[in-house]
Structure formats: C-alpha cells, structure tokens
Amino acid sequence: MSESISQTAKVNLQGNEIELPLIIGTEDEVGIDISSLRSNTGAVTLDVGYKNTGSTTSNITFLDGEKGVLRHRGYAIEELAEKADFLEVAYLLIYGELPTETEFNQWDHDIRRHTLVNEDMENIFKAWPTGSHPMGQLIAMISSLSSFYPESLNPNISEEDRSRTIRRLLAKMPTICSMIHKKRIGHPLIYPQNNLNYVENYLNMTFKHVTEDYELDPVFVSAMNKLLILHADHEQNCSASTVRLVGSSHANLYASISAGVAALWGPLHGGANQKVIEMLEAIKADGGNASKYIEKAKDKDDPFRLMGFGHRVYKNFDPRAKIIKKSADDVLNKLGINDPTLEIAKKLEEAALSDEYFIERKLFPNVDFYSGIIYRAMGFPVEMFTVLFALGRLPGWIAQWKEMMDNRQPIGRPRQIYTGPAIRPYVDLDKR
Ligand SMILES: CC(C)(COP(=O)(O)OP(=O)(O)OC[C@H]1O[C@@H](n2cnc3c(N)ncnc32)[C@H](O)[C@@H]1OP(=O)(O)O)[C@@H](O)C(=O)NCCC(=O)NCCS
C-alpha cells in the first residue's frame, strides 16, 4: 500500500481545533482520516449517499472520474479489454497480478472442472412462477450454493477451502446464468463442456439447443469477452460496497455476492442496461423523436430520466462506454444488423452532448448505454441484461470481498444523526 501520512487537516469543531491525518493514495488522492474523530470529539460526519466518503483503502481498482480513467491493479481498462482473456482479468483482480502461463493454465483448468452444479439446484426452478425476473432467480441461486457447500459458512475457512469456494463460484456462475435463461424459455438445459473456455462455455450453454449443433461465432465470443472485462470491477460502487458490508459481518461468500447481485438489480445501478433498451424501444414506438425525450429529461416536473446517462463518479466520460460503443458498431456491422434503436441511441447521445443541461451537469453516456444493443444483437432477451452485468462483475465482487477479509476489516456499521422526536411518554391506545 503506498499511502503514507504526510499532512494533517485542521478542523475547528465548536471552538476546539483538532488535527486529522491525511491519507494519500498512489495517484495522490487525498483522504481525511476521521477514524479518531468520534472518540476525540463525540462528533460524526454526515454524508448521505457517501458522495464524499472513502469507505476503505484498496489496491484493486483506480478510477478518476474527472479524467475518465479506469485501471485494475495498475493496468488500463483499454489495454485489458483489447488484449486480455476475462479469466486473466479475474485472476488479476482477485490475486493482484496477471497470472503466469502456468498459473493461468491451472486457474483455467480448476474453473473448467467446477462448472457443473448439483442436479438438485434444478428443483429450485419448480417453485418460481413462469416469467419471474432472472435477477431475483440469480440472487436465490447464488445464495443457495451455501446450502450445497456448507464449508463456506465457516468464517475461519482454510485457505484451500476458500480458494475452492472462489473457483466454484466463478465456475458455476455461467452455468447458473444459462440455466436461468433456458428455464425462462422452457428449454432443456445444456450442460457445460470442459473443452470450451469460460466465455465459449457460457454462450454454448445459453444458445445451443439440444436438438441442433451450435457453432460458436468468434465475433460473439470476442465481444462477450470484452463486455465481461469492461464490467469486471468498478471499485466501491453500490454493489461492491454491499458485498463488503454484508461480508464484513462474516456472512459467507455466496450470501455476500448474492447481496451484491440484489444491489446491482436496481435501475440506478446495473438494472439500467435493461431500462436503456426499454427506453429506446419506447422512443422508437413514439416516432423516434430524440429531442422530445431530451426535453422530457430536462423537465423537473417530468419523472423521466435518460437511462444510461450520468454517473456518480464519471464527470467527463465513462471510458467503458467509449469501448462498448465501438464494439456495438463492430458487432452490428459484422452481423449485418441494422438496429434502429442504435440510431436512436446515437441521436440521443448527439443531442444530449450538445445540450447545455447535460453539459452543465456533466451527464455522459455510461457503460449501460450501448451494452444492451450488443446483448440484443447476440440474441439475449432484455431481462437477462443485468444478469450479464453480474456475470462480468463477479470477479470484482470476489476481489473486494477477499481484500476486506484479508485486511480483517471490522464490521461495517455507519452512524447517523437522529432527527426524530425527542423522548416522549407512551400514550395508551384509547387515548390517541
Ligand atoms: C447514475 C445516477 C444515479 C447518478 O446519480 P447522482 O450522482 O446522485 O446524480 P444526481 O441524481 O444528483 O444528478 C445530478 C443532476 O443531473 C440530473 N440528472 C442525473 N442523471 C440524469 C439523467 N439520466 N437524465 C436526466 N437528468 C439527470 C439530475 O436531475 C440532477 O439535476 P439537478 O442538479 O438540476 O437537480 C444518475 O445519473 C441516474 O439516475 N442515471 C440514470 C440511470 C443510469 O443510467 N444508471 C447507471 C449508472 S452506471
């Protein structure tokens, strides 16, 4: 860890001046360490939505929202997306370094050997009504792994068991995601095949039919690999923070990750990728007038928001959106698909980027804006889009959980400023 205490911040608190140490990160980010604030002064900080709060130091991901920079363990996202295999990035995130060839072969082999899920897991689907949302199913399926592998419940799990738990989860995630898809469309499941790599296996389990041969399209495989890498981690966002918070109570890895999936589901987070396509479809059905919807997004009396625009931390551009936009063009061109929603997306982007409202508020297309168009071109139903986000984000969540556990971080438990009624006497029911 490169941070060192170099300076202090002085806070004048009701006449008392106190000094708080500064923590300086690798890229000179400055944090005021307030961990002694309450014990020294009785005061806490208040930061609703954590817009100014660093919840941890971390060695995993660096993000500069002003400059549009995203790096994992020092490697630029652009380079990883261009050159790496998704499982290499997963290893990098979880273990801190790119694997050597031997390490990679072992990692890849271990993951291929754990792809089957217990046959009893299929029974869980019997309980769900047809058409229930895949994200709700994913939450339950991941969490249910703790029932099949109870050694994961032990917070003092051996290193060997923990390692196996991590590999198991990574290996079973594509199987579970494809099961959800197959059950949804009422088709028989396709089993994993150990001769296929992670991305190929997932696409094969999703798109192959038992009745027919399926040929993997290298354009799909490459686009999917890139998409998964682009989603792999994003430091202390809503779902990663959830994973850390749940994990900090020493809940098992499966429960912690399933909580992260629940956080991702929301339309303000990963659920936005589904909402983007629904929005583009609605605009298309309404005549394709992008300007009308730009005006709606600006109108404070209209609840409409441009889905896929804006980001809590990127205030310049989302580097992932740039790569995905190009990828969307490539996939559609190669497949010869002419998707009118892509045209609407481009019109919206152009209109928003030249509009004062969006410029002033630094609202740019985010990762979800173009990813849905590629997913749809590949044949994924729109309800599966957030599941795909979760599949990509899994290594990041595992890395965040592992770092939190390895650093023996205390249970996460924020404070509050109470603003409710002061003490008052109980009034009997007949007197209220
Ligand atoms: C991502 C998001 C939740 C970030 O929220 P935030 O950091 O809390 O920012 P705020 O909601 O405070 O927005 C700041 C301003 O921009 C406006 N704004 C933010 N996103 C907007 C959008 N997508 N469309 C229209 N206006 C938007 C807000 O109304 C607010 O305007 P005001 O200052 O006049 O009140 C938000 O931009 C959003 O809802 N985007 C759409 C959902 C989405 O794509 N999420 C995926 C994120 S990867």
pLDDT tens string 189-214: 999 999 999 999 999 999 999 999 99
- Closest residue by Cα to atom 15, ligand 1, is 361
pLDDT score, position 327: 85
First vs last Cα of the chain: how many Å apart?
59
Query: Which atom of ligand 1 lies nearest, measured to the CA of 311?
Result: 1
In a domain, 429, yes or no: no
Domain presence at residue 243: yes
Q: How many CB atoms lie within 10 A of CB 16?
A: 10
Residue 333: predicted pLDDT: 85
Quick one: 179 and 284 in the same domain?
yes
- Residues tagged active-site: 311, 368
Query: What are the phi and psi torsion angles at 70 (to 5°)?
Result: -140, 120
Pocket test for ligand 1, best of 52, 324, 363, 367 (most atoms within 8 A of CB): 363
User: 321: CA distance to ligand 1 center in Å?
Assistant: 16
Give the C-alpha separation, 399 to 416, whole Å.
29
Q: Which of 361, 366, 368, 386 to mutate to test the pocket of ligand 1 (most atoms within 8 A of CB)?
A: 361
Pairing between strand 61-64 and 5-13?
A: unpaired
Is residue 268 within 6 Å of ligand 1 at its C-beta?
Answer: yes
Task: Tell which residue, 328, 310, 329, has the closest CA to residue 318.
Answer: 310
Contact 134, 184 (CB under 8 A): yes
Same-domain pairing of 161 and 230: yes
Coil, strand, or helix at residue 12?
A: strand
- Cβ of 389 below 6 Å from ligand 1: no
User: Is 318's C-beta closer than 6 angstroms to any atom of ligand 1?
Assistant: no
The pLDDT of residue 189: 97
The domain that contains 292 carries what CATH number? 1.10.580.10
Instruction: State whether 384 and 293 are in the same domain.
Output: yes
Contact 221, 204 (CB under 8 A): no
Partners of residue 12 on adjacent β-strands? 17
> Does any domain span residue 423?
no
pTM of the model: 0.91
Query: Residue 257's pLDDT is what?
Result: 98
Answer whether 390's CB lies under 8 Å from 270's CB: yes
Looking at residue 330, its pLDDT comes to 81
Counting the structural domains of the chain, the total is 2
Same domain, 138 and 39: no
Mutation to probe ligand 1, out of 312, 318, 386, 389 (largest number of atoms < 8 A from CB) = 312
Co-location of 345 and 318 in the same domain = yes
Q: Which residue lies with its CA nearest to atom 33 of ligand 1?
A: 361
Q: Which atom of ligand 1 is nearest to the CA of 270?
A: 46
In a domain, 430, yes or no: no
- Residue 426 inside a domain? The answer is no
Give ∠ CA 181-185-186 in degrees, rounded to 5. Answer: 110
Q: How far apart are CA 119 and CA 88, in angstroms?
A: 29
Residue finishing a domain among 27, 46, 69: 69
Quick check: is 124 in a domain? Answer: yes
> pLDDT by residue (tens digit) across 16-52?
899 999 999 999 999 999 999 999 999 999 999 999 9
Q: Whose CA is nearest to atom 12 of ligand 1?
A: 312
Domain boundary among 39, 69, 99: 69
User: Do both 403 and 348 map to the same domain?
Assistant: yes
Do 208 and 65 share a structural domain?
Answer: no
Contacts of 24 (CB under 8 A, 6+ apart): 3, 4, 6, 30, 31
Is 50 inside any structural domain? yes
Residue nearest to atom 31 of ligand 1 (CA): 361
State the 10-residue block means of pLDDT for the chain, 432 residues long.
Answer: 66 91 94 94 95 96 93 98 97 98 98 97 94 96 96 92 97 98 96 97 98 93 95 97 98 98 94 89 92 92 91 86 85 82 86 89 87 88 95 98 97 97 98 96
What pLDDT does 6 receive? 54
Domain boundary among 50, 69, 88: 69
Nearest-5° Cα angle at 291, 289 to 295:
125
Instruction: Tell me the residue range of the domain where 60 lies.
Output: 5-69
Residues 216 and 311 grouped into a single domain: yes
Task: Name which residue sits closest to atom 10 of ligand 1, judged by CA.
Answer: 312
Asked if residue 162 and residue 120 are part of one domain, the reply reads yes
CA 168 to centroid of ligand 1, rounded, Å: 37
Cβ atoms of residues 396 and 61 within 8 Å: yes
Ligand 1 pocket mutation, candidates 63, 309, 357, 359, criterion most atoms within 8 A of CB: 309
In ligand 1, which atom is closest to the CA atom of 308? 44
Q: Is the domain of 264 the same as that of 228?
A: yes
Q: Are residues 90 and 46 in the same domain?
A: no
Contact 329, 379 (CB under 8 A): no
- What is the whole-number distance in angstroms between the Cα of residue 309 and the centre of ligand 1? 7
User: Is 190 part of a structural domain of the chain?
Assistant: yes
pLDDT of residue 165: 97
Residue 339 in contact with ligand 1 by CB distance below 6 A: no
Q: Which residue has the least CA distance to atom 28 on ligand 1?
A: 361
Closest CA to 121 of 97, 104, 138: 138
Q: Is the CB of 310 inside a 6 Å radius of any atom of ligand 1?
A: yes
- For residue 41, give the CATH number of its domain: 2.20.28
Q: Would you give the distance in Å from CA 235 to the centre of its chain?
A: 9
Ligand 1 centroid to 308 CA: how many Å? Answer: 9
Query: Measured from the CB, is residue 272 less than 6 Å from ligand 1?
Result: yes
Q: Which atom of ligand 1 is nearest to the CA of 366?
A: 48
Total residues found in the chain within this entry: 432
* Per-residue confidence (pLDDT) for residue 1, from 0 to 100: 46
**Helix, strand, or coil here: 126?**
helix
Q: From ligand 1's centre to the CA of 311, what distance in Å? A: 7
The alpha helices in 186-237, defined as continuous H runs, are 198-207, 218-230
Do 207 and 326 have their domain in common?
yes
What counts of helices (H) and strands (E) characterise the chain? Answer: 18, 6
Answer for the pair 214, 379: CB distance below 8 angstroms, yes or no: no
Largest CA distance in the chain: 78
Q: Is the CB of 305 under 6 A from ligand 1?
A: yes
306 C-alpha vs ligand 1 centroid, how far in Å? 8
What is the structure's pLDDT at 252? 97
